[in-house]
Structure 1
Amino acid sequence: MPRAKGVSHQVLIALLVRGFGAGASFALSLVVARVLNTTEAGLFFIAFTIVSAGSRVASMGMPTAILKVVGANEHSDWGLINNVIGVAHRRIAAIGFLVVCVASWLSASIANYIFGKPMLATLLPITSLCVFLLALLQVLASAIQGRHRAGISSFVLNSVFPLVIIIGTGILVALGLSIDARSLVLLLVSGLLVALAIASIVWWRDSRSRWTPFAKPDVSFNRSVIYLSPIVIMDIVVQWSGYFLGSAMLSSTDMAIFSTAQRTAMLGSLLLIGVNLVVAPKFSAAFTKSDMRQIKQLSRQSNRLMLIAATPFVALILAFPSMWMGFFGAEYERGSALLQILTLGQFINLLTGSVGYLLMMTNHERDYRNIVLLTGPFAIGLAFVLTNFFGVVGAAIATAVAVATQNLLAVYMVKKRLGFNTLSFFSP
């Protein structure tokens, strides 16, 4: 039975690929900040955040459930794997159709009354299509990840569409054409279609893969989805409540600065995502074999790698926030304090390790669901109060505190259910 030996090598490869995706994401933020004024940039970042958060809601936790199924059954039951992927595609297609119809019909009302940004109305129908496309991409990327192909999974999910947007923007600039937020959202559609095509080729070129459009729902899969759906929603609330409440209460300029600060702060947490690409399916496989020792080894080994890799990066951001924000333009430098606050919250997220996946891959979805059901409303209330009193700085503080609280509660639950502390980095 494979042990944690060799995981470091796999994690390093995943981190290299994920680092490339992080670089592409950072470059995309730079391009947006440079080619658009702060008002248009703010509108694009709001639309992009709607796509990121909305796609996770539309997928209803199915990517994580698929990751669990594929990780546990890759060498045994491809009938089950094909079945759950067919069910996921059918459900997301239905949800996507509904989302596109509602967004197209009520775009003006959503833009005016929810976000207080009338100019956002023209972006929402295209944005809703992106929500559907990204949800489909997340399902395929999770299935690929479950087969322990972390590198290609990360590439199709995180690198392809930013590269398409950057290249497309360069072409538009070279042709002397005007660029606005709508242009970049249309390029996002193109990028997601390219990424979906690549992911589809990777998945269905395997002879074991079968297209099953009339697949029947699996009982255990449905149970996982029932637990994971509220987890996904509340996880988004914790991560993005400060941003969405700020979008409704603050100017587009403030939100452009907040978004660049948050996306820069999250570069460090991409290390955690890269590690999760490798260890999440291994957690599921080890739990299937009742090998708790391997789960503990994998967790501690990956946590040590993240601590070593993330500390220098976080130190650079905390020491030179103005330099980082200055990359986006002089007007963004006033977001230096936001960057420091958000980076501290993400650093705690890194220190706690893969606690969410540890619980979800070991049949403790219910415990993690209870944690996020507690921290989600807490995040909303905190964001509303602090944003109201302290503006964009309050939104940043609320986001950092909510993220840290959720992960520390998950550390406690891992200790209670699995018997070890993920913060004990160097325990033998």
Structure 2
Amino acid sequence: MQSGDLLNRSSISNLFARDAIGALLVQGAGAMLILLSEIVLARVMGVSQFGLYATVTAWMFVFVLIATLGFNHALLRYVPTYIARESWGALRGVLQRTNAWSLLAALLLAAVVGSVVWLFQAQWGSAVAIAFTVAIVGLPLQVLGGLRQATLRGLQQIIRALSPELIIRPLLLLALLGGLFLLSSTGVDAATALALNVVAILAAFLIGVFWQRRFMPSEVSSNRPLYLDREWIGVAWPLFILVALQAVDGGRIDIMLLGMMVDTESAGIYAAANRLAEIVLFIIASANAAAASMMVRMYATGDNAGLQKLVTMATGGVLLLALPVTVVLILFGQEVLGFFGAEFSEGYMPLMGLLAAQMVVAMAGSVMLLLTLTGYQMEAARYMAIGVTVKLLLALLLIPAFGMAGAAFATLSGAVIWNLLMLACVKRVIGVDPSVVRLFNLIVRRGSVEP
């Protein structure tokens, strides 16, 4: 079947709805499970140990993004492209190369981080050194797991791509925590929680490997690998820069800065607020996961009308779900934060700023995804760099004086800047408008022709 036949006008809605519903169910369940696991951890560890746990996991998130080298985004682009073209040798080659390069980067980074934390053990304390050492064991697994997820998404196996990290890992972590309580009367510190998390990461990784092997087209293994190293690196390195900038823009860098510039208690409270705001991010990610491979095929076949319809549907679906979630958190955010512990209610004001930042992303539409999937990753990286620079400068200025509120305001400011810049670029170079403005205009026009 040709991609043009697959993505005709009548099938766009059905394909997107099918994958979006599946992704949303997994993302929604995963968000609740991750939130539940962190509430349990915060309750049993206390704000100080949970703050250390949150700080270490924030650093690990950044390390994973760095060691992946942008190849997860490259795979999301190349896997559906090579399948559509039946370039089985190139598909086998890109899978082999990206896994090898990212694994090497993860091992080197783990060695460097492990050496640094023990070199500065006297200044940072043994608890910090032990926590980082335990967490860094899972770095190679997380990096390869991210590549598995991107590959399965490219194979249009959205639910199986997302389930290991979003469902299996938090479920197993909760089960391990429950087992620890039954077998031991001692409390849970950050290092213990991180060790349990590594076990859960291993299980999720193995399941992802099984599913990738099961759903990979048989033609891949029967063809000799074709290595297009220069092309793949040429695409991946700007994506790597973009991913690194995304790490700085994300809430985890705020957690790291608060842990260094204020205290781990503030970092823990902010981490709880950020986790609640990420519910909106999960909704956005669900739409992007469902639409990504269709975006690639539509752009490759020059179907701009179909692409416009797809991105408008994605933005509408995101807002339909994100707005009620945001309203609920505005009204009851303090009470929800209280589930983490009484001290965590201080995170309400930062939560408002972080929710505003996520809604800016939702209203702009899939601007970053569109640019990275259509060959304009350098433009995306440039605009993200501008937004991140503004965010970092504001964070360094505001966090010492305003703490968590300053970090949230810096995040909101950066999000407004890079989303507006990317939206203007998407409209100019791709010729589609994924923003809420386009959706609003369509609604107004339809309303005006009603009798």
TM superposition score normalised by structure 1: 0.95
**Letter paired with 2:46:** N
Superposition deviation, residue 218 in structure 1: 3.0
Superposition deviation, residue 213 in structure 1: 12
Identity rate, percent: 22
Distance in 1, Cα, partners of 2:357 & 2:204: 31
Counting only pairs closer than 5 Å after superposition, residues 11-410 of structure 1 correspond to structure 2 as 11-75=20-84, 76-109=86-119, 119-178=127-186, 179-205=188-214, 206=216, 207-210=218-221, 216-239=227-250, 240-410=252-422
Superposition deviation, residue 405 in structure 1: 2.2
Distance in 2, Cα, partners of 1:119 & 1:176: 20
Superposition deviation, residue 317 in structure 1: 0.6
Contact 1:154–1:277 under 8 Å retained in 2? no
**Letter paired with 2:406:** G
Determine which structure has the larger helix proportion and give its number. Answer: 2
Superposition deviation, residue 42 in structure 1: 0.5
Contact 1:242–1:380 under 8 Å retained in 2? no
1:259-305 Cα deviation digits (max 9, x unpaired): 00011111111001111111111111111112112211110011111
Contact 2:80–2:293 under 8 Å retained in 1? yes
**Letter paired with 1:34:** R
- Report the CA distance shift for 1:167/1:338 in structure 2 as closer, same or farther (over 3 A): same
Distance in 1, Cα, partners of 2:72 & 2:302: 23
Contact 1:241–1:383 under 8 Å retained in 2? no
Contact 1:140–1:200 under 8 Å retained in 2? yes
**Letter paired with 1:182:** A
- Report the CA distance shift for 1:244/1:35 in structure 2 as closer, same or farther (over 3 A): same
Contact 1:52–1:131 under 8 Å retained in 2? no
User: Gaps spanning 5+ residues in structure 1: where?
Assistant: none
TM superposition score normalised by structure 2: 0.90
- Report the CA distance shift for 1:270/1:117 in structure 2 as closer, same or farther (over 3 A): farther
How well do the aligned residues superpose, as a CA RMSD in angstroms? 1.9
The size of the alignment, in residue pairs, is 426
Contact 2:164–2:207 under 8 Å retained in 1? yes
Distance in 2, Cα, partners of 1:350 & 1:170: 36
Distance in 2, Cα, partners of 1:364 & 1:426: 27
SS state at 1:363 partner: coil
Distance in 2, Cα, partners of 1:354 & 1:211: 36
- Report the CA distance shift for 1:40/1:69 in structure 2 as closer, same or farther (over 3 A): same
- Report the CA distance shift for 1:369/1:117 in structure 2 as closer, same or farther (over 3 A): farther
Q: Which is further off, 209-218 or 357-366?
A: 209-218
**Letter paired with 2:243:** V
Considering only CA atoms, is the larger Rg found in Structure 1 or Structure 2?
2
Distance in 1, Cα, partners of 2:384 & 2:371: 12
Q: Which is further off, 269-278 or 240-249?
A: 240-249
- Report the CA distance shift for 1:243/1:17 in structure 2 as closer, same or farther (over 3 A): same
1:173-214 Cα deviation digits (max 9, x unpaired): 122342211111111111111111111111112334449998
Q: Which is further off, 294-303 or 370-379?
A: 370-379
User: Gaps spanning 5+ residues in structure 2: where?
Assistant: 443-451
